[in-house]
Structure 1
Amino acid sequence: MTARPRIVGALAGLLATAWFFVLALARFNQAKATSYDLTIFSQAAAAWRRGELPRSFVRGPDTLLADHFSPATAVFAPVWALWPDPRALLLTQAVCLGLAVGIVVAVTHARLGPAAAGWVLLTALLGRMLVAGDIFDVHEVALAVPLMAVLGWALLEQRLTAAVLASLGLVLVKEDLGLTVVAAGAVWWWLRGRGRRALAEGALLVAIGVAGLALAVAVIAHFNGGGSSYLDYFTGGSGGALADHSARPTPGLHLDQRVLPVLLLTATAFVVGWRSPLILLALPTLAWRLLSSNASYWSVSFHYDLVLWPVAVLAAVDAVRRHRLAERAWLRPVAVLSGLAVMASGLTLLVDKGIDPRAAFSRSAELADLDRLMVGVPAGATVAAQNHLGPYLTPRFEVTMLGTGRPERVRYVVLAADRRPEFQAPPCARDQLLRDLRGQPGVMIRQVGDLVLADLGTSRPAGLRACSAG
């Protein structure tokens, strides 16, 4: 790769980092961040910073390694040490996405030229895959996005050392990525010429993937003897204690929903990406999502497509060059229409979620009310907070989520006395809790705007009672 693509890639990466941080910060400042998952990862970062295994009061007493195998989240520790605030993790995620965009744009520029690189950059900034992941808190899979970009580049350029290093990183990000690395071994063998040497080198990547998967299973089993809650979505099985905090399986095929990730991948790969062997890297992620009974996995509005973005675009770049598709008259309209589709989808999501980029430079009135509400509450106090309020309390307090039947013992409860729907805390349950608390001696309640703080007097469970209407 010459200097020009590298410079273009670096500038694209800086622009993408700034843009994605603006979007994430805007959502944060609009009081749209949530305990699931920003508080969880913030508390994990704080635990890593203390030299402990990652834990979250939101998820219960177990280490998060009993939930997902993601030791790579230890990189959040120095970030939290420098800036102990959830926004530090939002910035880290934006940097990860920016790195991936920079790598992919550089590869595109080197292989297809500046026009294609510019189109890839535009679709990255506004397309559904990266935008959806960026505006939904923080997740460990963001750490995998630049690694997937490096792996894709290494496979195309036949750089074994880079492929090995990227693979080693990927298996430490999340348990299922071992399967992706196994697929990378097959892609290496195919692209390398399918000879004896190619087989040996591909087998090395397969071995890394298998070892990573085995290690992940062993660690999760060690810390969660009851089994991962995510098994419920594939086997109807146990799930252990963590299953109490997870979404219930959705019965039925719902093919109209399950097909959405495939359609988005196809559009993001400009359709032609399916003609590249590199697209094989996307199949393990697609498989577990489509086979799952968790409806969230079928959605294209969360973070599950993040790792697919580098694969989709690099597969398209490879297909165009490998099959000389640039000479075909139909390529340009297909690329333009596909790009417009993914950008329209991304912009629609921003509108639907009410994300205003200008909010990155201001703070909502609700957050100002929350600051006033918490004056006088001692630092380190245990607080059960409504899902959309928890992240803003995390730097100062030990926060869990206010929800139905939750057992955590807390001294304070923070909620909104309004009619907005909320994960695990519907309005009817919040109303019932307030009625119950107002009738109890020793409980002190104060309100600022729509926000309510209840001092329970002693530490005790503050789980909501189930109710039949929102």
Structure 2
Amino acid sequence: MTTREPAPAVEVDDEVPPAAPDESATTAAPDDAAPDDRQATRGARARAVAQVWVLPAGVGLLVAGLFTVYSVAQWQAFVVRSWDLGIFTQLASRYAALEAPIVHIKGPDYHLLGDHFHPLLVLLGPVYAVFPHALTLLVVQNVLFGITAAVVARAAVPLLGRVVGGLVGVACGLSWGLQYAVEAQFHEIAFAVPLLAVALTATLRERWRTAVVAGALLVLVKEDLGLTTAVLGLVLAWRARRPALLWLSAWGVGGFVLATRVVLPALNPDGAWAYGSRLDLAAALADPLALYAPAKGYTLWLLVVVTGAIALRSPFVLVAAPTLGWRFLSAEPGYWEPTWHYSAVLMPIAFVAMLDGIDRARRGRVRWLRRYSRYAPVVGLTASLMLLPQLPLWQLTDPGTHFAAPRAQAARDTLAVIPDGVVVETDVGLMSYLVDRTDVYYLGNTNPVPDYLLIDRQAGGTPQEWGDVLQVAQLLHPGVPFEVVHVQDGYEVARHVGDG
């Protein structure tokens, strides 16, 4: 006859210190306490807060610093990944001037809130007003990712100890999704990453108000994140056993509907949500086998492996479903892969889910899972370490190859030809380097006649069959006279010489 072994008590790692004191739980001095006692209490509270945040702050500074070194190397090498940095820089300059976000790069008089719904980007305005430079946006994004790493480290240390908890924060900050986002340069989702980290870690600590506020702000970052907020509301309500928190789900769904059905169509030149056509749910359900693609499987595998798979133990992984859903149901292959910025919002979800999964496994009744919870962080950290040579930051180990910038002097000479304050029509080659001081239009649109036309025949994206800069000028503005004023290493500049 076999006897059933009683469920063992929660196992506690001897190397894991007790949870750090919650600064919000520090007992305040009574009103009738002596002034010296109140001052001592405030001092103790300040020291406790500082002690709790010293290591996470160091993690955040490390992540933000490494990313900024990479961004500066990219900038000095004249690496331009797309037109997005130019677009968001033009938006930031409009907000800094207290103007509507009219972005000529997207098209003449194009209101950027008709492209994506991201009103929270108004926060870029004051920063850009002080530091009016496209590189500023890259630094802002790097700082936001550093904050994310610090928040995750702050949640990990009480559970895993200072060393492992700090390393988990670093792993999150330097994770593949965030590295690819930094490589792709600035995008609006930079603001969503720390908000998700704050919302989920606050949920771990049962700080419901903080979680709700951070989750609610996601709706203002990008339209699809309204659905992420809706799922977050469900998780919060279940976790807190408070049905009233379901209002966050209603807020998320309402924000998504309002953005996609009202705001975006009203402000978009075509009168529609520009990206709605990329999601064909009916076609996907008609052929379920077509949903599978190796790129999708690889993205999912990366999410699982960097968390030691124990993130699957947490309901927090459900918060990733809307992002994975719209990406994998789309017919755009670029959405399926782990590159670019599309996976950045998944990183805080995955790593906080890992922390929650470890905590739940330790308190659970499944013996092998309790034991594995001791090793899951090491498995995830080892996987993160092994991935590093494949990721963008590794390029810093060989800057001579990746950031050689053979045309850097030619680029600087070309930029020097174009005066401040003029209207420039250009491809993506040097767009981000002009947007701070000129009014930039993208040559792929129907634009007014510019003062200067600039093309990069090597890496700007202008079709080779269009010919040289004068041929491009006649193609875009038939009959309008231009003269060539500069040609160097693939860069060509023509100036409008009058109405002729």
Task: Give the shorter-chain TM-score range.
Answer: 0.7 to 0.9
Rounded Cα–Cα distance in structure 2 between residues aligned with 1:452 and 1:369? 10
Q: 2:79 aligns with which of 6, 10, 32?
A: 32
Q: The residue matched to 1:58 in structure 2 has which SS?
A: coil
The question of whether the paired residues in 1 share the 8 Å contact of 2:179 and 2:393 is answered with no
Aligned to 1:466: none
Q: The residue matched to 1:383 in structure 2 has which SS?
A: strand
Within-5 A mapping of 1:434-445: 435=471, 442-445=482-485
Aligned to 1:273: 311
Aligned to 1:15: 62
Look at both structures and tell me which one has the larger radius of gyration over its CA atoms: 2
Aligned to 1:180: 228
2:397 is equivalent to residue 349 of structure 1: no
Q: The residue matched to 1:443 in structure 2 has which SS?
A: strand
1:272 to 1:458, Cα distance in 2 relative to 1, 3 A: farther
Within-5 A mapping of 1:350-429: 350=392, 364=405, 366-403=407-444, 406-409=445-448, 410-418=450-458, 420=459, 422-423=460-461, 425-426=462-463, 428-429=464-465
Rounded Cα–Cα distance in structure 1 between residues aligned with 2:371 and 2:308? 15
Aligned to 1:258: 296
Rounded Cα–Cα distance in structure 2 between residues aligned with 1:349 and 1:112? 26
The question of whether the paired residues in 1 share the 8 Å contact of 2:482 and 2:494 is answered with no
The amino acid of 1:120's aligned partner reads: V
Q: Percent identity?
A: 30
The amino acid of 1:369's aligned partner reads: A
**1:261-319: CA deviation from partner (whole Å, max 9, x where unpaired):** 32222123321101101111111111111111222211211111111111100100111
The question of whether the paired residues in 2 share the 8 Å contact of 1:35 and 1:58 is answered with no
Cα displacement (A) at 1:434: 5.1
Aligned to 2:210: 162
1:236 to 1:49, Cα distance in 2 relative to 1, 3 A: farther
The amino acid of 1:407's aligned partner reads: T
Rounded Cα–Cα distance in structure 2 between residues aligned with 1:307 and 1:395? 28
Rounded Cα–Cα distance in structure 2 between residues aligned with 1:223 and 1:357? 45
Q: The residue matched to 2:421 in structure 1 has which SS?
A: coil
The amino acid of 1:454's aligned partner reads: A
The amino acid of 1:323's aligned partner reads: A
Rounded Cα–Cα distance in structure 1 between residues aligned with 2:197 and 2:440? 35
2:247 is equivalent to residue 204 of structure 1: yes
Cα displacement (A) at 1:31: 0.9
Aligned to 1:243: none
1:396 to 1:135, Cα distance in 2 relative to 1, 3 A: same
**What are the ranges of 5 or more consecutive residues in structure 1 without an aligned counterpart?**
238-251, 461-470
Q: 1:454 aligns with which of 494, 497, 500?
A: 494
Q: 2:156 aligns with which of 108, 111, 121?
A: 108
The question of whether the paired residues in 2 share the 8 Å contact of 1:40 and 1:56 is answered with yes
1:437 to 1:56, Cα distance in 2 relative to 1, 3 A: closer
Aligned to 1:283: 321
The amino acid of 1:216's aligned partner reads: A
2:180 is equivalent to residue 132 of structure 1: yes
2:387 is equivalent to residue 339 of structure 1: no
Rounded Cα–Cα distance in structure 2 between residues aligned with 1:324 and 1:261? 28
Aligned to 1:431: 467
1:327 to 1:149, Cα distance in 2 relative to 1, 3 A: same
Q: The residue matched to 2:455 in structure 1 has which SS?
A: strand
Cα displacement (A) at 1:333: 5.8
The question of whether the paired residues in 2 share the 8 Å contact of 1:164 and 1:205 is answered with yes
Q: The residue matched to 1:229 in structure 2 has which SS?
A: coil
Q: 1:146 aligns with which of 194, 200, 223?
A: 194
Aligned to 1:240: none
The question of whether the paired residues in 1 share the 8 Å contact of 2:70 and 2:393 is answered with no
Aligned to 2:3: none
Q: TM-score, normalised by structure 1?
A: 0.84
The amino acid of 1:213's aligned partner reads: F
Q: 1:323 aligns with which of 344, 349, 361?
A: 361
Rounded Cα–Cα distance in structure 2 between residues aligned with 1:357 and 1:109? 33
The amino acid of 2:391's aligned partner reads: L
Q: The residue matched to 2:440 in structure 1 has which SS?
A: strand
Q: 1:121 aligns with which of 169, 174, 177?
A: 169
1:349 to 1:429, Cα distance in 2 relative to 1, 3 A: farther
1:339 to 1:429, Cα distance in 2 relative to 1, 3 A: farther
Per mean C-alpha deviation after superposition, the further-off stretch among 409-418 and 324-333 is 324-333
2:328 is equivalent to residue 298 of structure 1: no
Q: The residue matched to 2:144 in structure 1 has which SS?
A: helix
1:435 to 1:53, Cα distance in 2 relative to 1, 3 A: closer
The amino acid of 2:383's aligned partner reads: A
The question of whether the paired residues in 2 share the 8 Å contact of 1:156 and 1:191 is answered with no
Rounded Cα–Cα distance in structure 2 between residues aligned with 1:76 and 1:307? 19
2:351 is equivalent to residue 310 of structure 1: no
Per mean C-alpha deviation after superposition, the further-off stretch among 306-315 and 3-12 is 3-12
Q: TM-score, normalised by structure 2?
A: 0.79
The amino acid of 1:24's aligned partner reads: S
Aligned to 2:31: none
CA RMSD of aligned residues (A): 2.9
1:176 to 1:30, Cα distance in 2 relative to 1, 3 A: same
The amino acid of 2:432's aligned partner reads: P
Aligned to 2:100: 53
2:275 is equivalent to residue 230 of structure 1: yes
1:96 to 1:437, Cα distance in 2 relative to 1, 3 A: closer
Rounded Cα–Cα distance in structure 2 between residues aligned with 1:381 and 1:253? 48
**1:58-79: CA deviation from partner (whole Å, max 9, x where unpaired):** 1113211111000000011011
1:184 to 1:109, Cα distance in 2 relative to 1, 3 A: same
**1:322-342: CA deviation from partner (whole Å, max 9, x where unpaired):** 111897554566544443434
The amino acid of 2:392's aligned partner reads: L
Aligned length: 432
Aligned to 2:39: none
Rounded Cα–Cα distance in structure 1 between residues aligned with 2:298 and 2:99? 39
**1:5-46: CA deviation from partner (whole Å, max 9, x where unpaired):** 422111111211111111122112111124521000000001
The amino acid of 1:210's aligned partner reads: V
1:215 to 1:458, Cα distance in 2 relative to 1, 3 A: farther
